Structure 1
Amino acid sequence: MKKTTIADVAKHANVSKSTVSQYLNQRYDYMGEQTKERIEKAIAELKYSPNILARGLKQKSSTTIGVIVANILHVFSTQVIRAIEDFCNEKDFHVIVCNADDDPVKEKRYIDMLRAKQVDGIIAFPTGENVELYKGIMEENYPVVFMDRLIPGITINTILLDNEQAAFLAVNEFVKKGHERIGVVSPPLTQKVTPRFERMEGYKKALEHHGIEFNPDYILSGEIEEMHTKLKKMMRLPVPPTAILAINDRTLIEILTYTKEEQVRIPEDLALINVDDVSFASIYNPALTTIAQPAFEMGKKAAEVLFDLIRDKGLSADVKVYRFKPELIVRESS
């Protein structure tokens, strides 16, 4: 069966090929409604499907971007991806999502793959290890936006939460409820993951602000699989914490699992606040007090900044770090 061409559509709609091309590229500035309707009807009747690859080659664009997330299991990551995909869909762009697992080797492999596929730009949650690779990319003026993380020595537009403020809000809430023995649970702090360090700094500054002495025994940092053991050790201290800040949603799950297995009551025995407003926060018993990130706004902003770079061929005279405000959502667990 002969494949329907743009010329067939033009003939069927009684318009020129260039008019059909303008319609397909959504350039409607000087196109009447009747013309658009005729073209739309012709496309439907002829079952015309545009050759996206050929159009991309002609426009020197793949109409595709790549998103490299650190860990797709995080609620924040999935919400950001959804916002990016929504934005790209409106622009008739496609999104390739890659999960790097905070592994610099996987990150580099995905960057190489996306570049080979000639995607128009990349939004990355960087591991922090591929510094020279990103420097080379920036020298080429290739469009890249960082999400959630800063890399020292690399000047790239970055979208971030005000992480120190997030931890500050949590500690303030605990102090308001009468707590002074406040612990914090985090994944390893040895990795170059900006939110972990910034939230820890915010936690320390908040303790100092309230005149509470910092106790290193109340800092739990480790891999997810060892958190239960470490939590048990911390909670069996002669003077254990009465409140805990969970750095992110995955640490929250481990704390909730621990409290259930050890029959620790929330908030009677242990008050709890988490950074990330997880979907079950309001229906968990007790309902969980959280620090919400505006993930959808942050994802949309990352896409907007990337598209500006794509339009400007990667050149940006005004590189910025965009900080978004966290929101304390008080429920029952604090």
Structure 2
Amino acid sequence: MKRVTIEDVASLAKVSKSTVSQYLNKRFDYMGEDTRLRVEEAIHQLGYQPNIIARSLKQKRTSTIGVIVANILHSFSTQVIRSIEDTCRENDVHVIVCNADDDPKKEENYINMLRAKQVDGMIIFPTGGNIELYQSMVYDQYPVVFVDRIVENVDIDTILLDNESASKMAVEYLLQAGHQRIAIITPSLERKVTPRIERINGYKKALQMAGLPIRNEYIKSLEIHRIHSGLEEMFAMDEVPTAIIAGNDLSLLEILRFVKKKGIKIPDDLSVLGFDEVPFATIFEPSLTTISQPAFEMGKKAAEILLERIEGSENEVQQAQIHRFPPTLLKRDSTSSLKR
């Protein structure tokens, strides 16, 4: 079948090609209602589909961005992606989502693939393992925004939680409830992931401010598959924790599996407080106290900054910033006052 062209639409609608082009680009300011309806009807009648590749070449844009997630299993990540997609859809921009699975090599491959596809920019939850590649994008003035993780010495806009304040908030809440033996569990610090490091730092600072000792045996940063054995060690001590903070949603799941297996009652035997508002927080029994990140606001901000970078002049030097968002403590039934 012969491909329907913009000339065919213009001929049927009895308008110029430039008028059809204005319609396709949604420039209706100087277009009469009758003209707009004729073009719309002609497009519908002919089944015309714009040549996206040709338009991209002409505009030097693809109206597409890439999102590379370090680990798509995190509920926070999926919430941020949803918000990014919503914001981009409102601006007629398509989104390609890739999961690096915390693997720098996969991340490198995805970055190179997306650039080869000429996406207009990227939002990356960085693994931190591709410093030279990140720096090359900065050098090329390629639009990039990081989410959730700071990469030192790389000048890229970054969106993340005020993690130290969040863990201080968690510790102070548990201290007010009478707990002093407070533990914290996070995934491994091997890759120097920003939220994990900052949440432990905030935990330590809160204890110091309260005049309490920092007990290293109450701090575990392990690969997810090793968290269970780390909890076994912790709860084999003479003085077991009376409260525990889960550094993220995957750590929380491991803690909940452990207490169920051991018959530990929440909150009677152990108060549990998690990071990230997991979908089952309100339906779990007892309902889970969490530190919530404003994931949708963070995703929206990331998308808005990237779209601004894409729209900006190639010669315009813009200073990258770190954008911190405040946490919210959602008090529920998995934490309680310590019985004396």
Partner residue in 2 for 1:62? 62
Partner residue in 2 for 1:125? 125
What SS does structure 2 have at the residue aligned with 1:244? strand
Q: Is the Cα contact below 8 Å between 1:141 and 1:313 reproduced in 2?
A: no
Name the CA distance, whole Å, in 2 between partners of 1:243 and 1:304.
39
Q: 1:84 to 1:316 in 2, by over 3 A?
A: farther
Which letter maps to 1:323?
R
Partner residue in 2 for 1:326? 327
Which letter maps to 2:254?
E
Q: Is the Cα contact below 8 Å between 1:142 and 1:313 reproduced in 2?
A: no
Name the CA distance, whole Å, in 1 between partners of 2:299 and 2:211.
37
Name the CA distance, whole Å, in 2 between partners of 1:34 and 1:325.
51
Q: 1:313 to 1:66 in 2, by over 3 A?
A: farther
What SS does structure 1 have at the residue aligned with 2:77? helix
The correspondence of residues 80-229 of structure 1 with structure 2, limited to 5 A, is 80-229=80-229
Which letter maps to 2:69?
V
What SS does structure 1 have at the residue aligned with 2:160? strand
Partner residue in 2 for 1:35? 35
Name the CA distance, whole Å, in 1 between partners of 2:282 and 2:89.
31
TM-fit CA distance, 1:316:
4.1
Q: 1:66 to 1:161 in 2, by over 3 A?
A: same
What SS does structure 2 have at the residue aligned with 1:171? helix
RMSD across aligned positions (CA): 1.3
**Number of equivalent positions:** 334
Q: Is the Cα contact below 8 Å between 1:166 and 1:199 reproduced in 2?
A: yes
Name the CA distance, whole Å, in 1 between partners of 2:333 and 2:188.
28
Partner residue in 2 for 1:20? 20
Which letter maps to 1:235?
F
Partner residue in 2 for 1:244? 244
Name the CA distance, whole Å, in 1 between partners of 2:119 and 2:26.
21
> Could you tell me the TM-score, scaled by structure 1's length?
0.97
Q: Is the Cα contact below 8 Å between 1:158 and 1:322 reproduced in 2?
A: yes
Partner residue in 1 for 2:3? 3
**Percent of counterpart pairs with the same letter?**
57
> Could you tell me the TM-score, scaled by structure 2's length?
0.95
What SS does structure 2 have at the residue aligned with 1:189? coil
TM-fit CA distance, 1:90:
1.6
TM-fit CA distance, 1:266:
0.5
Structure 1, residues 137-161: CA drift from partner, whole Å, max 9, x if none? 1111111111111111111111111
Name the CA distance, whole Å, in 1 between partners of 2:23 and 2:70.
38
Structure 1, residues 103-151: CA drift from partner, whole Å, max 9, x if none? 1111111111111111110111111121111111111111111111111
State which drifts further: 96-105 or 278-287.
96-105
Name the CA distance, whole Å, in 1 between partners of 2:278 and 2:250.
10
TM-fit CA distance, 1:19:
1.6
TM-fit CA distance, 1:177:
1.2
What SS does structure 2 have at the residue aligned with 1:211? coil
Which structure 2 residue ranges, 5 or more long, are not aligned? 336-340
Which structure 1 residue ranges, 5 or more long, are not aligned? none
Q: Is the Cα contact below 8 Å between 1:179 and 1:242 reproduced in 2?
A: yes
